[in-house]
Structure 1
Amino acid sequence: MPFDDFGLQRADSKTDLTRRFLYQPLRRVHTCFANPTKIQQLLFPYFFLSLIYALGVHFYGPFLRSLVVCDVKSEVGVAFSGSARCGDTNLVLTVAQAQEGRLVGMKLLVHGVAGPFLAVLADTSGRRPVLLLGMVGFTTAFFLFALVSSISQLHGSELIVSLCFFLEGATSAFDVVFLSMLADLTPSRSAARAAAFSSYFSVGALGSATAARLAVVVLRLQLRSYTVVWLLVGAAMAAVTVLFFFVVSETLGPEAKARAAARDRGLLSRRGYARTAVANILAPAKLIASSRFLQLWLGALLLNSLSSGILGVEASFTLAVYAWRPGDLQALTWPSQFIALCSLTLLGPLASRYKLRSVLLCSMLASCSVHLSGVLAPFTPVAIVGPSLFHSALAFGKPLMTAFLSGQFRADEQAKVHAVTHLCTNLGASVSIALFSGPLLFRPEARGWEASRPFLLSALLHFAGNGVRLLLICTTPEDSGSIIRAAAATKLESALEL
Structure 2
Amino acid sequence: MPAARPAAMRFILITVLIDMVSIGLIVPVLPLIVGTFTASPTEQTFWFGVVTFSFGLANFLASPVLGALSDRYGRRPVLLLGFTGLATSFFVTGLATALWMLIAVRLFSGAMQSNAAVANAYVADITAPEDRARRFGLLGAMFGLGFILGPAAGGLLGAIDVHLPFFVAGTLAVLNGLYGWFVLPESLPPERRRPFEWRRANPVSALRGLAALRGVGSLVAVIGLASLAQFTLHTSWVLYTTFKFGWGPAQNGASLFFVGLTSAFVQGFLLKHLLARFSPQRLASVGLVASSLTYLGFGLASQGWMMYAVILVGTLIGGGAQAAMQSLVSNAAGATEQGRTMGAVASLNSLSAVLAPVLSATLLGLVSHRPQGDAWIGLPFFFCALMQAVGASIAISHFRRHRREASAAAAA
The interval holding the TM-score normalised by the smaller chain is 0.7 to 0.9
Name the counterpart of 1:490: none
Is contact 1:435-1:441 (8 Å) kept? Answer: no
Partners of 2:280 and 2:176 in 1: CA distance: 38
1:477-488 to structure 2, matched below 5 A, reads 477=403
Query: In the alignment, residue 210 of structure 1 is paired with which amino acid?
Result: L
1:5-154 to structure 2, matched below 5 A, reads 37-65=7-35, 67-70=37-40, 92=41, 94-148=42-96, 151=97
3-state DSSP of counterpart to 2:216: helix
Change (3 A) 1:390 1:133: farther
Change (3 A) 1:374 1:98: farther
Partners of 1:298 and 1:422 in 2: CA distance: 12
Change (3 A) 1:42 1:456: closer
Name the counterpart of 1:267: none
Query: In the alignment, residue 152 of structure 2 is paired with which amino acid?
Result: R
Per mean C-alpha deviation after superposition, the further-off stretch among 203-212 and 276-285 is 276-285
Task: Give deviations 1:463-496, integer Å, cap 9, x for gaps.
Answer: 2222222322332338989xxxxxxxxxxxxxxx
Shift of 1:439: 8.2
Change (3 A) 1:445 1:60: farther
Is contact 2:70-2:339 (8 Å) kept? Answer: yes
Is contact 1:319-1:326 (8 Å) kept? Answer: no
Is contact 2:288-2:388 (8 Å) kept? Answer: no
Name the counterpart of 1:16: none
Change (3 A) 1:442 1:163: farther
3-state DSSP of counterpart to 1:69: coil
Shift of 1:317: 3.8
Match for 2:400 among 474, 478, 481? 474
Question: Which runs of 5 or more residues in structure 1 are unaligned?
Answer: 1-31, 71-91, 152-156, 265-275, 482-498
Calculate percent identity across the aligned residue pairs: 19
Name the counterpart of 2:329: 405
Partners of 1:98 and 1:305 in 2: CA distance: 23
Is contact 1:110-1:170 (8 Å) kept? Answer: yes
Match for 1:454 among 359, 366, 380? 380
1:240-255 to structure 2, matched below 5 A, reads 240-255=176-191
| RMSD of aligned alpha carbons | 3.2
Is contact 1:98-1:434 (8 Å) kept? Answer: no
2:391 equivalent to 1:465:
yes
Change (3 A) 1:289 1:450: closer
2:114 equivalent to 1:190:
no
2:199 equivalent to 1:278:
yes
1:171-190 to structure 2, matched below 5 A, reads 171-187=112-128, 189-190=129-130
Query: In the alignment, residue 150 of structure 2 is paired with which amino acid?
Result: A
Normalised by the length of structure 2, the TM-score is 0.84
2:106 equivalent to 1:165:
yes
Query: In the alignment, residue 333 of structure 1 is paired with which amino acid?
Result: L
Name the counterpart of 1:270: none
Match for 1:332 among 248, 251, 255? 255
Shift of 1:138: 1.4
Change (3 A) 1:42 1:329: same
Is contact 1:198-1:399 (8 Å) kept? Answer: yes
Match for 2:192 among 256, 262, 278? 256
Is contact 1:304-1:462 (8 Å) kept? Answer: yes
Change (3 A) 1:48 1:279: closer
Name the counterpart of 1:395: 319
Change (3 A) 1:371 1:51: same
Change (3 A) 1:175 1:309: same
Shift of 1:184: 1.7
Name the counterpart of 2:410: none
Partners of 1:461 and 1:438 in 2: CA distance: 16
Partners of 2:340 and 2:141 in 1: CA distance: 23
Partners of 1:186 and 1:386 in 2: CA distance: 35
Change (3 A) 1:65 1:50: same
Change (3 A) 1:280 1:338: closer
Change (3 A) 1:147 1:349: closer
Match for 1:304 among 210, 217, 226? 226
Partners of 2:207 and 2:282 in 1: CA distance: 33
Change (3 A) 1:182 1:432: same
Shift of 1:431: 0.9
Partners of 1:295 and 1:36 in 2: CA distance: 32
3-state DSSP of counterpart to 1:245: helix
Question: Which runs of 5 or more residues in structure 2 are unaligned?
Answer: 408-412
Partners of 2:60 and 2:236 in 1: CA distance: 21
Query: In the alignment, residue 61 of structure 2 is paired with which amino acid?
Result: V
3-state DSSP of counterpart to 1:313: helix
Q: Between Structure 1 and Structure 2, whose CA radius of gyration is higher? A: 1
Is contact 1:97-1:438 (8 Å) kept? Answer: no
1:185-224 to structure 2, matched below 5 A, reads 185-187=126-128, 189-191=129-131, 193-218=132-157, 221=159
Query: In the alignment, residue 130 of structure 2 is paired with which amino acid?
Result: S
Partners of 1:102 and 1:306 in 2: CA distance: 18
Shift of 1:36: 7.3
Name the counterpart of 1:82: none
